[in-house]
Structure 1
């Protein structure tokens, strides 16, 4: 499991300080894996460095991909990926988003994917992050979701 690997790299008890607060590495890993979307990151040299380990992933990921050039991971679309990353690197583009139908299994539905250039406050390019969302996860979530009073909030019972 990834958690075992995490403990080899950084102590699960190590505190990671952010501008907006601090959190233990093990807690951050657990938080990321609970998010209703998946993420990945390749660095400024186009090396695939990290992905979230969410359940029910849209894109299967293998740990063997970590440390490999992202163009090797997408041989059929390498020229498109290379152009996108070069556009990110040069600043010609900051993001790219698209939707596509599910491609695996007998399920139907829509997938949303966005690629974003990761930069510091001075514009230095750190790499590319991708976020993938199975839009079907949000189907049927209609209706009143926010209690208007404290009494309504207290009365809400978990499903």
Structure 2
């Protein structure tokens, strides 16, 4: 798999309705988020995933370009039904929680699948977001400051 810098100029700018950002900066930001994302297009082809280092689901670059049902053969009938509901408009999202598999660090996983549509409602594909919600629990010594003075007093580590 080529690096972003090998595919487009590091200076390429993506213009959004809410502002513009360099493609290389956006790529770096997506890889820093404390959750992972993936996208399959309207033809159910797996196209992209964020590449943060603490992934819940291990992804392989070889999955890119493959049909999503090939990637999930044991649950293909469930995936197919979900994508069909997204395509028809019967459903816009689906979320669930589950414990991490045995042998891995303990944790509770939250996953949400969302239909991606254009401004006219045309189905563009499916995005998933997955997060180990335990990263937000038990953060000893971290809290939300109640006043600006308390915020200013917080010393960086």
Work out whether the TM-score is over 0.5.
yes
Q: Closer, same or farther in 2 for the Cα pair 1:58/1:77, shift >3 Å?
A: same
Tell me the CA shift for residue 77 of structure 1: 0.5
Aligned to 2:152: 154
Tell me the CA shift for residue 147 of structure 1: 4.4
Q: Separation in 1 of the partners of 2:103 and 2:156?
A: 31
SS in 2 for 1:13: coil
Aligned to 2:32: 34
Match runs of 1:1-159 below 5 Å: 4-141=2-139, 144-149=143-148, 151-159=149-157
CA RMSD of aligned residues (A): 1.5
TM-score, scaled to structure 2: 0.93
Structure 2 unpaired stretches of 5+: none
Structure 1 unpaired stretches of 5+: none
Q: Separation in 2 of the partners of 1:139 and 1:96?
A: 23
Q: Separation in 2 of the partners of 1:145 and 1:92?
A: 40
Alignment size in residue pairs: 156
Q: Separation in 1 of the partners of 2:90 and 2:104?
A: 39
Following TM superposition, the consecutive aligned residue runs of length 4 or more in structure 1 with deviations greater than 4 angstroms are: none
Give CA deviations for 1:55-85 in whole Å, capped at 9, x if unaligned: 1100000000000000000000111101100
Give CA deviations for 1:13-65 in whole Å, capped at 9, x if unaligned: 10111111111011001101110100000000000000000111000000000
TM-score, scaled to structure 1: 0.92
